[in-house]
A = this chain, B = another copy of it.
Amino acid sequence: MINCTLIVGSMAFDDLELPSGSFRDVVGGAATYASLAASLYAKAKIVAVVGNDFPEMWMDRLSARAIDISGIERAQGKTFRWHGEYAADLSSRTTLATELNVFADFNPKLPPSYRESSHVLLGNIHPELQLRVLEQIIEPKFVAADTMNYWIQGERTQLAKVISRIHTLLINDEEARLLGEDHNIARAARRIRSMGPKALVVKRGDAGALLFDNEGTFFCPALPLDSELDPTGAGDTFAGALLGQLTMTGAIEPRQLRVALRGAAAAASYCVEGVGPDRLFTVTREEVDRRRDRIAELSHC
């Protein structure tokens, strides 16, 4: 088994309408954010697809972070593109356009060197593809998955298969309500956990994150920031940092998971301080650790 975080998910160009301005062709996607965050702690390996318009310079930037890019397929066509607009207070966003492009035909194929990965993050892609990735990995130690409303509503059977085979499901509160078929988060969480996963993490943005597992319920607050710029990728950064930390410590005890959630919230707090994934290139693990400790102190008295 190779101690690393395998991440499958989107790589994209994002066009962002932010209160601070309009930004075009910002390299993003769940796999980009998550791998950068994971690489603060452990070796990360990406499985994704980009088009022939994706800048080679970006491959170099990821490689320079010791991220394994050999699982990124370069397909004929354009890279996935998302155009979104944020509210003035950054609390909500509207999708203006989505162009799937080469992502529409994504069929994740793992290089042989990926097959013994210890930790796996199944990003938000078709549940069928999440299963296909899982089948290519030999006895992973820890698997987490993300998903979205579209799959919850349209591919519930396939999604249930994925969920039954993973350790931790990482979704936001709206998705948890939809998947658990209950507007009450505590009841929805029980329902979701009965579908298989040992742990459920419900991400609530600047309202923190809730963990439901056999130990009970844990709440991790978000750090109140006075310098938010762009929430894009914060949830993926959270997921990547969580997996990276678990890969580094090698443990998935309830306490480790709780400490790692604080580190994940700390990493996400840096992500939103830059436009796109910029800040993730400059932040150090020591800085994230300091904010992780501040998050622990935030609800301590």
Q: What residues make up the interface of A, taking CB atoms closer than 8 Å to B? A: 88-90, 177, 183-187, 189-190, 204, 206-208, 210, 217-221, 224-226, 228, 254-255, 258-259, 298-301
Question: A217-B298, A259-B301 are known contacts. Are A90 and B183 too (CB-CB below 8 A)?
Answer: yes
Give the chain B neighbours of A204 by CB distance below 8 A: 207
In the complex, A298→B177 CA distance in Å? Answer: 21
Of all chain B residues, the one with the shortest Cβ separation from A182 is B226
Question: A207-B204, A207-B208 are known contacts. Are A224 and B301 too (CB-CB below 8 A)?
Answer: no
List the number of copies, as a whole number.
2
In the complex, A259→B225 CA distance in Å? Answer: 23
Give the chain B neighbours of A299 by CB distance below 8 A: 218-221, 298-300
**Contact between B88 and A219 (Cβ–Cβ < 8 Å)?**
no
CB-contact partner of A185 in B220, B224, B254, B300, under 8 A: B224
In the complex, A206→B186 CA distance in Å? Answer: 12
Q: List 24 A-B contacts (CB under 8 A).
A: A88-B183, A89-B183, A89-B184, A90-B183, A184-B226, A184-B228, A186-B224, A186-B225, A187-B226, A189-B224, A190-B226, A207-B208, A208-B221, A210-B224, A217-B224, A217-B298, A218-B298, A218-B299, A218-B301, A219-B221, A219-B224, A258-B301, A298-B299, A299-B299
